[in-house]
Amino acid sequence: MPTVVSVGSAHATTPQAAICASDKPELAEKLSEDINSALDGASATTAISLHDRTTNTTCALDADRKFDSASTVKVTVLATLLWDAQKDDRALTQEERDRATAMITKSDNDATTALWNQLGAAKVNAFLLAAGMTNTVLDSEGHWGLTQITANDEEKLLQLVTHANPVLGEDSRAYILKLTGEVIPSQRWGTPAGAPGDAQVHVKNGWLERATNGWRVHSLGAFTGGDHDYTITVLTQDNATMDDGIANIEGIARAVHENLNAPAAGARP
């Protein structure tokens, strides 16, 4: 049974503690401390969910809070497209591949809208049900960027992408990892900050400013290759600027990467 450690934070708008559990009690304790230290002084509302399979470590903070998805929903759109094609036993068309590439690697909104309209809400909802993403809710007026997401549901999606499962086949998972590994340099901020140099980095970020709750700034990351096998989701809102949100996420990410890749962290008990 993994040891569970909760360390309180003085963070104003996210008062809950980051709770970590691990087969390595010292790792859980240090990771909780460092995540909360990264949160101290930040003004954003923050949700976190992460999972490292190598050490059987998980951490969560306010992970069922709902946020506007912004562009992070584009991974769900791609997964739905591939899942739907699987059911028909067909490959993606060239047009679909072109749109998927633009949607993920450059966060192209027009490509996303085209795929979203092609799929329709019914197919997206069917995928969410199959994926167990039961707290994700589509916008009633059809705005994909206002899909309500949670850190826990995004972690479920990342787990489907990174490990064999009955929902997404091997080719579908490989394609998602390929595109999220080819995101343009200017959009590779967030959860990749501090990642080890030998890790294969897969990322999709989202950012959106609205009249209420300031900037939403989110980052989904998967880290594979070598001995690395972990995923990180950080969702934030109430950021005064986009840069504030990025800094918040990157402080958390550095704490996670440092702890999970410390010399003793990856060794089996």
**Tell me: the pLDDT tens digits for 146-156?**
999 999 999 99
Q: How far apart are CA 137 and CA 133, in angstroms?
A: 9
Q: Which CATH entry fits the domain spanning 3-260: 3.40.710.10, 2.102.10.10, 3.30.360.10, 3.10.580.10?
A: 3.40.710.10
Task: Map tokens 């994926």 to a residue.
Answer: 131
Is the pLDDT confidence value at 220 over 90? yes
**Tell me: the pLDDT tens digits for 55-96?**
999 999 999 999 999 999 999 999 999 999 999 999 999 999
Is the pLDDT confidence value at 13 over 50? no
Tokens describing residue 9: 């934070």
Average pLDDT along the chain: 94
Q: How far apart are CA 149 and CA 63, in angstroms?
A: 10
Domain ranges of the chain: 3-260
74 CB contacts (<8 Å, ≥6 apart)? 103, 104, 107, 112, 204, 206
43 CB contacts (<8 Å, ≥6 apart)? 12, 13, 238, 239, 240, 244
pLDDT of residue 95: 99
Instruction: Give me the mean pLDDT over the 95-117 stretch.
Output: 99
Is the pLDDT confidence value at 15 over 70? no
Q: How far apart are CA 57 and CA 52, in angstroms?
A: 5
Instruction: Give me the mean pLDDT over the 213-226 stretch.
Output: 98
Count other C-beta atoms under 10 Å from residue 202's C-beta: 27
pLDDT of residue 14: 44
Instruction: Give me the mean pLDDT over the 89-111 stretch.
Output: 99
pLDDT of residue 43: 85
